[in-house]
Amino acid sequence: MRMRYVAVGLLATAVLTGCGGQDTTPQDGTTSEDQTATTDTSTSTDADTGMTVSMADSDLGQILVDGEGMTLYLFTNDSPGTSVCEGDCLVAWPALEGEVSAGDGVDADLLGTIERSDGTTQAAYGDWPLYYWAQDSAPGDVTGQGVNDVWYVIGADGTAIQTIPGY
């Protein structure tokens, strides 16, 4: 557990160090490290796969996860119903594509979709577009929590949980 906090602290330090002096963070909240992240397209889905999202226990409380237990995030630079994460942002933060159904602890009334600027459908919860963090490697990872102070896990009520592990 302590190693996770050390890893999160090192990631936060790296992100913050890359933003030294003037704030040169792009509007999408990515950093140069984010832009070199690889995308695992196996986490993307469409309505034909029957993807379910549910709530799972984490160090941050109950959070929204996909059917494989991978953490889902919202981007505070988005607005409800609209995604502004494009290009390099989507490399670091792949969209959860397609329609999803409600699993354990999820309010089905909060589930929906948005249409992205490229015409694809992205799953949404509480009208917030849903994303993965490319650097989360296993179910239960929450390493994207608080990145650039704009990426957060999602609670059962559809709002961002802004607690940072270890603080």
Instruction: Supply the DSSP string of 65-119, one letter for each residue.
Output: E-TT--B-EEETTSBTTB----THHHHHS-B-BS--EE-TT--GGGEEEEE-TTS
The residue-averaged pLDDT of 29-47 equals 40
The model's pLDDT over 3-18, given as tens digits with 9 standing for 90+, comes to 333 333 433 333 332 3
Q: pLDDT at residue 142 above 60?
A: yes
The residue-averaged pLDDT of 38-65 equals 70
The residue-averaged pLDDT of 148-165 equals 94
Residue 15: predicted pLDDT? 33
Amino acid identity, position 134: A
Q: Answer with the residue of higher pLDDT: 47 or 77.
A: 77
Pairing verdict, β 101-102 and 52-58: parallel
Residue 29: predicted pLDDT? 52
The residue-averaged pLDDT of 75-87 equals 97
| pLDDT band per the 50, 70, 90 thresholds, residue 134 | very high
Q: Answer with the residue of higher pLDDT: 24 or 60.
A: 60
Domain ranges (residues) in the chain:
2-161
pTM: 0.73
SS3 115: strand
Q: pLDDT at residue 167 above 80?
A: no
| pLDDT band per the 50, 70, 90 thresholds, residue 155 | very high
Which tokens in the block code for residue 157?
A: 């009520």
Residue % of the chain over a pLDDT of 90: 66
| pLDDT band per the 50, 70, 90 thresholds, residue 165 | confident
Neighbours of 101 (CB within 10 A): 15
Q: pLDDT at residue 66 above 80?
A: yes
